[in-house]
Structure 1
Amino acid sequence: MTLRIEEPASGVMLLTLDRPAQRNAIDLALADALAAALAEFEAEPRWRAGVVTGAPPAFCAGLDLKAFSAPDAPRNRVTEVIVAIAGRHKPMIAAVNGAAYTGGLEIAISCDFIIAAESARFADTHAKIGALSGSGMGSRLPRAVGARFARQMMLTCAPIDAATALRVGLANEVVADDALLPRAIELAALMAGHDPEIVGIAKQVVDRGTEATLAEAIAIEREALARRKAQGAMTWKR
């Protein structure tokens, strides 16, 4: 098994990367399992929020370099999965335990926000291994931590701890390791309990707005509100 799928709360999909001996590094089997799970998450109304985490001792060490050592290895399959995580219409939390390195960091920052365990460590080691990201690291990381700190992470490849991740805005919260999943599931359940249409619209407003200028972002928000008002009163019963 490379990926565990559970429902720890109503409407919440918990995805656990499950290659602990390889620090949950992504091979083809895990990439394909993630792709299938994400497709179900998007298509099935039952799922309204998600959490992605890793089987201890790590969140995800990135690409399994042994599995992708051949020059013609289909690394694009991993890129497609990370792009799919970022392109979701439903909210997903990264519950980061241990190392979230390179591809693992890309998975984490492609989620809507990060809850970090005290053991969490974050690093972008693309430059160290002589590679470049094709999955949006150079675009998403500066939006998360600012351009200056993104340069520090990307050019030095030095890891940062959970406290630093919280300080620079990469993580929303830092909790004890044994409180990580309960807290992430609690937050996902709160989101899953709201009107999924409103949650989707609000997420889209933030997603599109952060990619725009302030004037464009305000216009996007007004457009969404006008569209919703045209559909009738904002009421929803669970």
Structure 2
Amino acid sequence: MEPQEVLASTVGRVRILTLNRPASLNALTPSMVTLLIEQVAGAVAAPEVGAIILTGTGRGFCAGADLKESEKRAMAGVDNTPFIRSILRLGSMLEGGPKPVIGAVNGIAVAGGLELLLACDFLLAASSARLGDAHSNYAMFPGGGATMRLPRRIGLARAKRLMLTGDIWSADQALEAGLVDAVHPDDALMPEALALADRLTVKSPLVLARMKEALTDAVSQSPETALRRERDLNELHATSFDRAEGLAAFREKRKPAFQGR
């Protein structure tokens, strides 16, 4: 019996999604991406879930698409386009979804694995993690959003260097470049990811969703458009329950009880 390609568990209000093909460094298959899409959609729809952690089992976070499977599809004349588009869809769900997503990089993360991480809101890496694009090493062209998201995260010059050379960076190099937000000892990675997720789940899910939306959209908008959008969201948020509850909690010196509305 084949092992489940994606494991899902819940700790408190945190949904943990774990890539589970350790023998192949969690390389992506069409069925695996479909499962991830379903799990992310389920986590987004669940009101009891306040944050999502994406990680992997074994020595790798994700080595990208399973190239052996890709070659088999090519030799059989099977169109690879639906698979690539499903990875793009998954990235859009992670980046554009209302709930914060933490990527916990437990090992090697290259190609499509890096592209999944670039769609996350926070990136924490284990000390032994290694990250890179690596598409150029095998004459592969990225299809999961790297050409758009990587330069926005680390700047155009660094993105060109990482993508064109095919280099793999250590966790510390990735931290220095701004590719990851923090580096932790291997055995502290998940505790640190859960601690960050717990900090997020006590916030108003409504304000986090609106902040995430505004920030993500602003990167590709003119300053004028982004400021108008912030103004509109601010005016919309002014009538929300959570804003009123936050003000009342401040006045009454108590913890707020947000409802996400």
Q: TM-score, normalised by structure 1?
A: 0.94
- Give the equivalent residue in structure 1 for 2:83: 75
Rounded Cα–Cα distance in structure 1 between residues aligned with 2:26 and 2:121 = 21
The counterpart of 2:60, out of the listed 55, 58, 61, is 58
Counterpart selection for 1:122 from 114, 117, 131: 131
Contact 2:96/2:216 (8 A) holds in 1? no
Q: Give deviations 1:50-98, integer Å, cap 9, x for gaps.
A: 0000102111000011122222244233333233222212110000011
Q: Which structure is larger by alpha-carbon Rg, 1 or 2? A: 2
Residue deviations 1:30-62 (CA, integer Å, cap 9, x gap): 112101101101212121110000102111000
Unpaired runs of 5+ residues, structure 2, are: 246-255
Count of residues in Structure 1 that have an aligned counterpart in Structure 2: 237
TM-aligned CA deviation for residue 22 of structure 1: 0.5
For residue 234 of structure 1, the aligned residue among 227, 244, 253 is 244
1:174 to 179, 183, 202: 183
Inter-CA distance 102–116: structure 2 relative to 1 (3 Å threshold): same
4+ runs deviating over 6 angstroms: none
Equivalent in the alignment of 2:106: 97
% identity of equivalent residues = 32
| CA positional deviation for 1:163 | 0.8
Q: Which runs of 5+ in 1 are unaligned?
A: none
Does the aligned pair in 2 maintain the 1:109–1:141 contact within 8 Å?
yes
TM-score (norm 2): 0.86
Q: Does the 8 A contact of 1:83 with 1:135 survive in 2?
A: no
Greater per-residue helix proportion: 2
Q: Which amino acid aligns with 1:75?
A: F
Counterpart of 1:149 in structure 2 is 158
CA–CA separation in structure 2 for the residues paired with 1:147 and 1:115 = 22
Contact 2:105-2:123 at 8 Å conserved across structures = yes
C-alpha distance in 1, partners of 2:219/2:17?
Answer: 26
The letter of the residue matching 1:226 is E
Q: Does the Cα contact within 8 Å between 2:98 and 2:208 map onto a contact in 1? A: no
Between 1:64-73 and 1:20-29, the stretch displaced more is 64-73
Larger displacement relative to structure 2 (50-59 or 76-85): 76-85
- CA-based RMSD of the aligned residues comes to 1.6
CA contact (8 A) 1:28 1:67 kept: no
Hey, what's the Cα distance between the residues in 2 that align with 1:83 and 1:216? 21
Cα distance in 1 for residues equivalent to 2:223 and 2:176? 24
The 5 A counterparts of 1:13-52 are: 13-52=15-54
